Amino acid sequence: MAERKDKGYRADSAQFFVAGELYRRQLVAVFTMGNCPNTNILVSNAGGTRFCHVQVKTFVPGNKTVSVGMKSERDFGPSFFWVLAGIPVPDSGKAFEFYVLPSAEMAKGVSERFKLWASTHDIKGQKHDETTKIRTIRLPLHAEPNGWTLEPYRGRWDRIVQALQA
């Protein structure tokens, strides 16, 4: 059997680890299996009376950035969250890292960071390509030039829990 070399394993496992964290908080998490645009996991309170959407993006702890794409600049509303999931390589000794960001805060931070990046020049002195669809966020220990940092969002599962309280 051929070994799968793509990022798919890490991305798939990240969704399961995120769902596990939500279940630990007595929430219900359902995978959309790609059938719901912009949402990897639908989450509800135990009574099924309130719902949130979760989009998961994966990175390897120790990396400098995580890629999120253009849709991260859009505020999808107060019931939409991004979870940046740091899934360590097996036997690396690194810990799992989770950053839970409300959509509005993600959109503001990514948009400001991209505008700043697009207004500067690359190493060769050429202007950055403003048409690129890639958006990146610097991970903690690598602060953004605009001062935005993910640190306040580390492990903030309470944000999702609060959004689901009836």
**CA–CA dist 50, 99 (Å, integer):** 22
The DSSP letter of residue 142 is: S
Q: How many domains does the chain have?
A: 1
DSSP state of 77: -
2 Cβ partners below 8 Å, 6+ apart? none
Question: Rounded CA gap, 74 and 94, in Å?
Answer: 32
In a domain, 58, yes or no: yes
Residue range of the domain that includes 147: 8-163
- Can you give the CATH number for the domain in which 28 is found? 3.40.1350.10
Residue 3 lies in a domain: no
Q: 117 near 138, Cβ under 8 Å?
A: no
Q: What is the pLDDT along the chain (166 residues), one digit of tens a residue?
A: 455 556 778 888 999 999 999 999 999 999 998 888 899 999 999 999 999 999 999 999 988 889 998 999 999 999 999 999 999 988 889 999 999 999 999 999 999 888 888 888 778 888 888 778 888 888 887 666 767 889 999 999 999 999 999 6
Please report the pLDDT score of residue 155 as a whole number: 97
Full-model pTM: 0.90
Q: Is 92 exposed, middle or buried (0-12, 13-18, 19+ CB in 10 A)?
A: exposed
